């Protein structure tokens, strides 16, 4: 089997290392962005639900001031508040789910790009070995 010169072998190894380095940088970047997203999500959830908790505490007083605390209007207002609270939480959840899915797609893309790049290098190396073998066979 025809073999590569030490310089050629080193060049192919350097290409592999460059691909792996770029991949590691991508993965690190995506992981950092995921951590920031998780932190941001936690902070936004806390802020949203704290604000909603304060609003919920004020509801009875708002209806009592108008003499509606024991009426069906208060019950409907409370039901509307709960519906809106659930929707706000779902919107927030959906937003962060979409962002997390985008990061997962980016990671998958990085995996695919790395595999394809390494396969290209392997192909180039195999083609070079074949060319060397053909030259050696032609010399005989």
What is the pLDDT of the chain when averaged over all its residues? 93
1 pLDDT exceeds 80? no
User: Span 74-100, mean pLDDT?
Assistant: 93
pLDDT confidence band for 89 (50 / 70 / 90) = very high
Q: The pTM is what?
A: 0.76
Q: Which phi-psi region, left, alpha or beta, contains residue 67 (left: φ > 0; alpha: ψ -120 to 50)?
A: left
23 pLDDT exceeds 60? yes
State the Cα–Cα distance between residues 35 and 14, nearest whole angstrom.
31
User: Span 118-127, mean pLDDT?
Assistant: 97
Cβ atoms 30, 106 nearer than 8 A = yes
């Amino acid at each position: 089997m025809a073999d590569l010169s030490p310089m050629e072998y080193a060049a192919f190894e350097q290409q592999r290392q460059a691909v792996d380095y770029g991949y590691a940088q991508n993965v690190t970047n995506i992981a950092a962005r995921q951590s920031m997203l998780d932190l941001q999500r936690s902070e936004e959830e806390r802020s949203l639900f704290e604000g909603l908790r304060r609003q919920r505490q004020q509801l009875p007083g708002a209806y009592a001031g108008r003499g509606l605390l024991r009426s069906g209007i208060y019950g409907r207002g409370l039901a509307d508040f709960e519906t809106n609270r659930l929707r706000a939480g779902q919107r927030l959840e959906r937003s962060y789910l979409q962002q997390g899915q985008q990061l997962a797609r980016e990671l998958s893309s990085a995996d695919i790009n790395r595999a394809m790049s390494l396969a290209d290098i392997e192909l180039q190396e195999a083609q070079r070995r074949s060319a060397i073998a053909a030259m050696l066979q032609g010399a005989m």
